[in-house]
Amino acid sequence: MSINYSKMQVKSLFQPSLLDMSLDVADFVFEKMEPKDLLTTRKVCRGFRTAVDHFGVRFDTIIFKLYDNCIKMILDEECIRYLDAHSGGATVAHREQKIVLESGNFVEIALNDLKMALKNVSSLNIFNKTEERDDMMVTSFLGYLESEKCIYVKQIHFEVFSFGGRLNCGGFSLDPGACTQRFRSPRW
């Protein structure tokens, strides 16, 4: 009796994955998921990240609030809080769940999540609730906006920001003396 080991090894090398699934099936599964669950799924592995990015996560409104010790991002009425962890790293809280991330800064983590959520959104509302209107968190946030080549939103609303001059972000330029608090993109 002989055993063919070559066939056994080949089978174990080619395990099916999400990427082997038909895109129609993956899109159908993603359609049934809530946007928050899509963002969570995206953080599981590179395969899920690629699939969710291909599908896209859609929100009507994103509210981004900067506080002295935390950031709140509200995605269609779902609030996510980003806090500095006492032991270092960051804490991300949603409803009654808290996730402690040992590495990373809560500002960077919030900005990365915002970057993902901004791909398909109608309205972005940004509130500066910090004591120091031009502190490091606000500077990091404005630097992030200026680094983006294009922000695909119909409307951006800034509240209680002092730009100290012109803000160039997302393919357009904001001059505080020339516009009101609301800015509507001419592309829409």
pLDDT tens-digit map of 11-47: 556 666 666 667 677 778 888 888 778 877 877 788 7
Do the bridges between strand 182-184 and strand 97-101 make them parallel or antiparallel, or are there none, so unpaired?
unpaired
Give the pLDDT confidence of 98-109 residue by residue, as tens digits.
888 888 888 888
Instruction: Give the pLDDT confidence score for residue 161 in this predicted structure.
Output: 64
Instruction: Give the pLDDT confidence score for residue 13 in this predicted structure.
Output: 62
Give the global pTM. Answer: 0.66
The amino acid sitting at 125 is N
Both tokens of 34, joined, read: 């809530």
Separation CA 79–CA 99 (nearest Å): 14
Of all residues in the chain, the percent with pLDDT exceeding 70 is 70
Instruction: Give the pLDDT confidence score for residue 177 in this predicted structure.
Output: 46
Do the bridges between strand 121-128 and strand 155-159 make them parallel or antiparallel, or are there none, so unpaired?
parallel
Contact 160, 133 (CB under 8 A): yes
CATH number for the domain running over 15-57: 1.20.1280
Separation CA 112–CA 31 (nearest Å): 23
Out of 31-40, 71-80, 82-91, 115-124, the most confident range is: 71-80
Domain ranges in the chain are 15-57, 59-188
Both tokens of 105, joined, read: 């800064």
- For the sheet with 70-75, list strands across it: 97-101, 90-94, 78-84, 70-75, 59-66, 121-128, 155-159, 182-184
Tokens 């939103």 found at? 153
- CA of 28: how far to CAs of 22, 44, 66, 181, in Å? 10, 19, 35, 39
The candidate with the shortest Cα–Cα distance to 119, out of 165, 152, 71, is 152
